[in-house]
Homo-oligomer: A and B are copies of this chain.
């Protein structure tokens, strides 16, 4: 725990924060779903932790994720919820059984166990802030029924792989 005021300066040209390390999408091997599981492929995603234990003594963590053009996150679900707010570029997401366009500052609540995948079909990076509980469950793959349902809908099928 820190009792210091942290002021994390933003660099608009780089769209990065001073002193915040760019991490890969996968950072906690013991807490990740198995690589081989269905839907666990991902591409061009980086993670930037702006607030989290033990630096900030809070019940939440704040992370900035950036998805490069053509990139996508895992197709996964978990009991913990996401609060997401777009910050850069225009992204898309499969959440539950629908597609969402995400221009800057649109906000989304991803409810418990809703399948979701973040995507960038644009030409500039798609960045978003994602707030989660500090104590949270491990992401898991979709079950057969969820997978087949999303594969059967022509709107979501292209994103189910």
CA–CA, A17 to B105, complex, Å?
Answer: 9
Q: Is A8 an interface residue (CB 8 A)?
A: yes
Residue of B nearest to A62 (CB): B83
Give chain B nearest CB distance to A47 CB in angstroms. 15
A83 touches B100 (CB 8 A): no
What's the interface size class on A, roughly?
35 or more
Chain B residues near A9: list those with CB within 8 A.
106
Q: Which of B4, B8, B133 contacts A111 (CB 8 A)?
A: B4
Which A residues are within 8 Å of any B CB, using their own CB?
A: 2-10, 12, 17, 50-51, 55-60, 62, 80-81, 83, 85-87, 95-96, 98, 100, 103-112, 114, 129, 131-135
